[in-house]
Structure 1
Amino acid sequence: MSNLDWYKLYADEEPIVERELLNKVLSNGALATFALVRHQGEYKAMLYVNGKRVNGPPLPQPLASSRDDVTHWMGNKPGVGLTASEADRIIDAVLERRDRCAL
């Protein structure tokens, strides 16, 4: 490793939380936090349940069939349902941050 490559050791291996976008108490009493993060060189939304990171898609995904007012989901075991307005809030925040970064 050359002296110029030292920074690669610290390059976004762990997500850097920029800000919390939404907190939600789940039916089982757990706290779901959706955060705007920088991870592996890109901005995305990330789900944390009771402070632990849950892997999954970088933005809320539409459900195949909506249930009541739940239209989107994030996460992967556990997955967390979102209303259309919650999903829009998360998506808008991430896309706005990506746009500012691209300038």
Structure 2
Amino acid sequence: EDMDEGYPGELKLKVKYTLNNNNEFKWEFIGNTNKSTIVNITNHTYWNLSGDLENRDIRDHTLQVMAINYLPESVIASNLGPITVGFKKSKLVPLTLANSPVGIIST
């Protein structure tokens, strides 16, 4: 709706979820507006990818964020401080989080 939360334009958003034969999960956000405006879409979905419903941890999970665009690290650092966790390259999640005082920042 135009001026929803103070932003101009009506946003129409599509989300596409894909799981391929290599067990790679991908989601794509595609949005269009009828006026110039800013859009910042995020996702806070969490899954147990092991398929084990009794042992719900992430010790064997790896994560890689293959985003097309990234906020420059200098901008992030000026607001949050030094970046200690990034997932441009695939990493084991628990080892990475153990070394981070603030958690995951997808850079």
Q: Identify the TM-score tier after normalising by the shorter chain.
A: under 0.3
TM-score scaled by length of structure 1: 0.24
TM-score scaled by length of structure 2: 0.23
Q: Which structure has more strand as a fraction of its residues?
A: 1
Q: Which structure has more helix as a fraction of its residues?
A: 1
